[in-house]
Amino acid sequence: MSSDKKVRVRIAPSPTGPLHIGTARTALFNWLFAKKHKGEFILRIEDTDSERSDKKFEEDIEEGLRWLGLNWDEFYRQSERGAVYEEYLAKLLDSEKAYYCFCSKDELEERRQAMLAQGLAPKYSGRCRAIPAEEARQKAGGGEPYVIRLKVPDTKIEFNDLIRGKIEFDGSLMGDMIIARENGEPLYNFTVAVDDALSEITHIIRGDDHISNTPRQIFIIQALDFEIPEYAHLPMILNPNKSKMSKRSDNVSLESYIKSGYLKGAVLNFLAFMGWHPTDDREIMNIEELIKEFSLKRVQKGGAVFSDEKLDWFNNNHIRTTDTKELLELAKDFVPKSWKLNEAMIESIKGRINRLDELEETLRFYFELPNYEGALLKWQEMNFGEVELNLNKIKDVLDNMDENLKRDKVQKAIMEIINNGSRGEYLWPLRVALSGQKNSPGPFEILEALGKKESVKRVDLALEKLDIPETY
């Protein structure tokens, strides 16, 4: 491939299911490569399998890529390119680089079993190669069932994988391969080779489960006198037990992670590190940094293990650094519509959640004060009398403040009455009174989020819980 050609890459998902997290990773690597080299990113929907393809899955794929920000420069749909495939099948037949094969399935299976019995790798014998081209056309035109096979030369195919280095296949072990089913319906490797060539794809970056397809596609490309692109096969994404992630599992669709409340930046960051790493030890990176740093030379060969815990870690970091106003808008989709969120509430819990679907439970105390036991208000060895005294002092401070309790201002005022006393003996009862929980954001954060009226109301409720006999 000429080094001065503009980089063009593609992602070519089949709309037979929701956008898989592995496909999203492959799309990201292609997109980053294109952006790094000022190239173009193409989306091609491979929907020639009419029985399994579904428009809703095509829409899911497009929506998922848009959500990630992986916008494409060109779009193709294979189901609309039937005439193109017919043209190039005809070229191969006319040039006698391909031929009609009339062998029945039973005949093929019989020969296959015979080769296996001899300890040989099964391949097509080439029996129908010998049929004169005109005779084959007449038989096919007369309605005799057929497939179309490519004449595979008995030569070795060698290509330099940009991730794995030199890879070699022996064509003599493959046999003539089927490129179109009965009635001329083109098969996967043929349509892919034609589309990649006509779209002028310069680099094919895809999962390593496609390595075995590469020599087949190269033979087709050579037969059609197209230019061979460069190949890079990414490591597969594995489960923690090193098994392959199943496409049928509920937790592998990008949509499921979106619904769980993972941020776009966190998902991109996480996916980029699934088989790749930068030159330094950084892990938290934004999309601009990923574009700048991305290189296929730093993609690993071994499988990339998927870890929900690591994804949560990335998301927690991205949540903490997301602008509070932006996070507030995102949060509204994860809590009851009746809740009136404010920035102070969001700010108070930014470091306490890993996913946005945790927001409802984390923020609930702001809208539904738990019915807690009065004993929870005591800090260590305090008695109820001491708790009551300290809460009343804090209430006096709050009574003299404006309705809008600014965190810094209210913190300064309350800390002045604590002076050299035990902070825990004041702040623990206050925090429990405001949240009704053993674990919650700090009291000054909660005061700002609740405002004066609700804060005083909750302190009064706490004082009522202390109107019980002291127990020891």
Q: Which residues contact 94 (CB under 8 A, 6 or more apart)?
A: none
Q: Which residues are annotated as a binding site for ATP?
A: 247
Model pLDDT, residue 285: 97
Q: Which residues contact 468 (CB under 8 A, 6 or more apart)?
A: 374, 384
Q: Which residues contact 231 (CB under 8 A, 6 or more apart)?
A: 159, 161, 162, 203, 204, 214
Domains by residue range for the chain, with CATH:
1-74+235-321 (3.40.50.620), 369-467 (1.10.10.350)
H helix or E strand, kind and range, residue 136: helix 133-141
Could you tell me the pTM of the whole model?
0.92
**How far is 11 from 33, CA to CA, in rounded Å?**
12
Model pLDDT, residue 8: 98
Residue 350 designated active-site: no
List, for the chain, all residue ranges whose pLDDT scores fall below the cut of 70: 1-3, 246-251, 468-472
Model pLDDT, residue 472: 39
The one catalytic residue among 36, 123, 151, 247? 247
Q: Which residues are annotated as a binding site?
A: 247
Place of tokens 């493959």: 174
Q: What is the per-residue DSSP string for 50-111?
A: TTT--HHHHHHHHHHHHHHT---SEEEEGGG-HHHHHHHHHHHHHTTSEEEE---HHHHHHH
Phi, psi of 5 (to 5 degrees): -75, 145
**How far is 159 from 166, CA to CA, in rounded Å?**
6
Asked if 304 and 238 touch (Cβ cutoff 8 Å), the reply is yes
